[in-house]
Structure 1
Amino acid sequence: MTVDAHHHVWDLSVRDQDWIQGPQLQPLRRNFTLADLEPEARAVGVDRTVLVQTITVAEETPEFLALAAAHDLVAGVVGWTDLTRPDIADELARLRELPGGGHLKGIRHQVQGEPDPEWLLRADVQRGLTAVAEAGLVHDVVVQPHQLPACVRTAAALPSLVLVLDHLGKPPIASAEREPWVSHVRALAALPNTVAKLSGLVTEADPATWTVGDLRPYTEIALEAFGPDRLMFGSDWPVCTLAATYAEVLDTARELTDHLSTAERAAVYEGTAQRVYDL
């Protein structure tokens, strides 16, 4: 049994994905649906997934919840809502009452796109994150390395909030740099209410020339810092298709974790996601 704890879907006839700009991302400018993903996932033993928000549009989360209700592949949804809205507790409750609302497991905001590196520390955002925690939801955080210190301070300030670091905080794999990413990740992992995803790494490397060896130094740091019980596999499909097929991403992750014990691998590929997202 394998859980894919991070993937997306979109239909450009429903709405544009305005982040897909430029020639490098051009292959993503088409529809990617659960019907596309399901045969690929099931072929490699993935039987449950977590569907994660792509854009900051309120309508997307109810659509994802409905998808989860209709497809047994999707076990959980990480949606989006405005963390700064005054009535966020009511809004989270409303989302849970929608069709498929029981699949809502977390909230994510595109923090990586915020110009303020300390956006997470704003009083209105912290208030919203407190409401997320009080609702029993987690917060997936997608950031660039320079925004990691704000993640550390947020996790320390809100011990009841589980903070899930997407894509290991986007380490600079393509340039083979380590610091300050390593120091920031270790500081975050030192806090018990933090978890991280082994996801999105093939596209942080050079998409055309990456090797497993390019990724290994970063996954080793993550395994040492978080441990398998606080790490989970995610494909980041379809973004990963810029660099690798779905099967190649999973095979790569398995190669990077093949030195772990059977129990440790079970945590990375099922147990951590099942626990954190209450699947």
Structure 2
Amino acid sequence: MRIDAHQHFWKFDPIRDAWINDGMQVIRKDFLPQDLKPELDKKQIDGCIAVQADQSPHETRYLLELAEQNPWIKKVVGWVDLNAEDIDAQLELYASEKKLAGFRKILQTLPPEAMDDPRFLRGIGKLSKYGFTYDVLIYPEHLEKAYEMIVRFPDQPFIIDHLAKPNIKNGEFEKWSEGIQKIAELEQVYCKVSGMVTEADWKNWKQADFIPCLDTVTEVFGTKRLVYGSDWPVCLLAGSYNEVFDLVYNYYSEFPHSEQVGIFGANAQRFYGIGE
């Protein structure tokens, strides 16, 4: 089974989606399952994982409704207030949602020290009890604190979104490389090979720009903990769905078939609990 392990759906709202600024006109509109399905079909992708873009309970419910209506949306990564006093009760209710794989908080907009918050750590510590995963959305400057957070929870499955967003545009990889290598030493951590084109020069990137990052994550995580994701429709800021897929596919095209099968589906199935 081929899986796109990272994409979003939304009905565009200029207030709620204020992060989509005037320089992002191509994504200032609705993006719904009927818009994505033809792109998946062209690449013979069997399903996807819908990831939250808005931090609200409504977003989680909305994505679960879309997954119920579209069986090819295999799982949802939603949002829950991990700092909430009643986090246990919330997670217990969500545990009955079979398509809800886990949760994500948009840490990249916060200082790294936000991961020291005892309330947040308490919430993270509850997830494994209910079988939930956690997507880590950060920049390179967050990697050290992310490591300190993750090492506290050896039984919690974590996945790093978008390679932790290395500065591909300026070729600044040293600090990122050190941080991602350290996190990769923690065996419960996977990494999404996603979101790269939007960290490059949107108008002038080329395949060679991504080789240092791909070389690094492949070396430190190995091919059994890497997961392909498109980051559609955000990726459209810098490239088509076809270009984003081919960027990753071309890099791994000479790898053993079993490893390609893992990166483009089997690893996501294992991490997010997707059946055949």
TM over 0.5: yes
Number of the residue aligned with 2:170: 175
Q: Within 5 Å, give how 1:238-277 maps onto structure 2.
A: 238-277=233-272
Number of the residue aligned with 1:129: 124
Q: Matches of 1:13 and 1:69 in 2, distance apart? A: 23
Q: Matches of 2:109 and 2:22 in 1, distance apart? A: 17
Q: Matches of 1:178 and 1:15 in 2, distance apart? A: 34
Q: Within 5 Å, give how 1:215-254 maps onto structure 2.
A: 215-254=210-249
Runs of 4+ in 1 over 6 A off after TM superposition: none
2:112 to 111, 117, 127: 117
- The CA deviation at 1:13 is 5.8
Q: Are 2:95 and 2:130, in contact at CA under 8 Å, matched by a contact in 1?
A: no
**Secondary structure, in 3 states, of the residue corresponding to 1:180?**
helix
Q: Are 2:163 and 2:192, in contact at CA under 8 Å, matched by a contact in 1?
A: yes
Q: Matches of 1:14 and 1:61 in 2, distance apart? A: 19
Deviations 1:85-137 (A, max 9, x none): 0111211222344xxx21000100000011x2121221111100011121111
Q: Does 2:56 match 1:61?
A: no
TM-score by length of 1: 0.95
Q: Matches of 1:277 and 1:218 in 2, distance apart? A: 24
Number of the residue aligned with 1:208: 203
Q: Matches of 1:161 and 1:153 in 2, distance apart? A: 14
Deviations 1:213-250 (A, max 9, x none): 00111011000000111000000000001111111111
Which ranges of structure 2 fall in alignment gaps of 5 or more residues? Answer: none
Q: Are 2:168 and 2:210, in contact at CA under 8 Å, matched by a contact in 1?
A: yes
Q: Are 1:107 and 1:137, in contact at CA under 8 Å, matched by a contact in 2?
A: yes
Q: Matches of 1:93 and 1:51 in 2, distance apart? A: 21
The alignment of Structure 1 onto Structure 2 pairs a total of residues equal to 274
- The CA deviation at 1:37 is 0.3
Q: Does 2:28 match 1:33?
A: no
Number of the residue aligned with 2:12: 12
Q: Are 1:202 and 1:240, in contact at CA under 8 Å, matched by a contact in 2?
A: yes
Q: Are 2:16 and 2:54, in contact at CA under 8 Å, matched by a contact in 1?
A: no
**Secondary structure, in 3 states, of the residue corresponding to 1:270?**
helix
Q: Matches of 1:122 and 1:79 in 2, distance apart? A: 21
Q: Are 1:62 and 1:95, in contact at CA under 8 Å, matched by a contact in 2?
A: no
Q: Are 2:195 and 2:229, in contact at CA under 8 Å, matched by a contact in 1?
A: yes
Deviations 1:150-189 (A, max 9, x none): 1111111111111110000000100011110000000000
Q: Does 2:103 match 1:107?
A: yes
Number of the residue aligned with 1:140: 135
- The CA deviation at 1:145 is 0.5
**Secondary structure, in 3 states, of the residue corresponding to 2:55?**
coil
TM-score by length of 2: 0.96
Q: Matches of 1:96 and 1:70 in 2, distance apart? A: 20
Q: Matches of 2:116 and 2:257 in 1, distance apart? A: 39
- The CA deviation at 1:4 is 0.2
Classify 1:2/1:134 alpha carbon distance in 2 versus 1 (closer, same or farther; 3 Å): same
Q: Within 5 Å, give how 1:149-188 maps onto structure 2.
A: 149-188=144-183
Which ranges of structure 1 fall in alignment gaps of 5 or more residues? Answer: none
Q: Are 2:2 and 2:266, in contact at CA under 8 Å, matched by a contact in 1?
A: no
The one-letter code matched in structure 2 to 1:137 is: F
The one-letter code matched in structure 2 to 1:270 is: G
Deviations 1:54-111 (A, max 9, x none): 01122110111111111011000000011100111211222344xxx21000100000
Q: Matches of 1:89 and 1:260 in 2, distance apart? A: 43
**Secondary structure, in 3 states, of the residue corresponding to 1:63?**
helix
Number of the residue aligned with 1:21: 21
Number of the residue aligned with 2:71: 72
